[in-house]
Amino acid sequence: MDKDKYDVHNYMEDVVAELIRLYQEKNPDLCCCPRCTMDISALVLNGVKPQYIRIETKVGKLDQKLIASLEKIVNKACQQVKDNPHHDDDFDPEKMYLENLSERLVEQVLIEVLQERDDLDFDQDMLSIIAGLVLNQVKPRYAVTDRGGAYMRLAELEHQFFPTTIAIIYNVLNQLEELE
């Protein structure tokens, strides 16, 4: 199994991006540069339950209670970034991007688990679903980073990450076996 064999996406990224855009439109005093927008997104997405299995993402169609609680988080994150902006730092929008580091971590652990369980053979769609179900249960770790930054942060991970993630992966695999 290699990276190209599956695809994951946190659909909350789409919901949150729209909410941030709407909030920035209503508050012209906020900076809308790519760096500030990415920093706001990271703060919000780290505080919201991820949705790696496809959901409705149009804000107008979502539950109003959910939107209201997300708006509070967006509001707070916008103020936080406004008070402490990083847009004067060295920032190359070509090289820096917003990433949930948990995606890469889960991928590493999933590869290891599936290498040990060579009785299991999943196609790309199934691997995407498995990774999505696992990522829905793993704490998001969004950061504005380049590749080097990402690896540096991997080294700082709490040592509970690997056993916890392996347990989640085995839970998901067991649930799938029960469904068969």
Q: Which residues bind Zn ion (CB under 5 A)?
A: 31, 33, 36, 87
Q: What would the two tokens of residue 33 be?
A: 């540069």
Q: How far is the CB of 38 from Zn ion (least distance, A)?
A: 10
Q: How far is the CB of 96 from Zn ion (least distance, A)?
A: 13
Nearer to Zn ion, 36 or 131 (CB): 36
Contact (Cβ atoms closer than 8 angstroms) between residue 45 and residue 16 = yes
Buried b (16+ CB within 10 A) or exposed e, 124-151: eeebbbbbbbbbbbbebbbbbbeeeebe
Nearer to Zn ion, 33 or 157 (CB): 33
Q: How far is the CB of 85 from Zn ion (least distance, A)?
A: 5
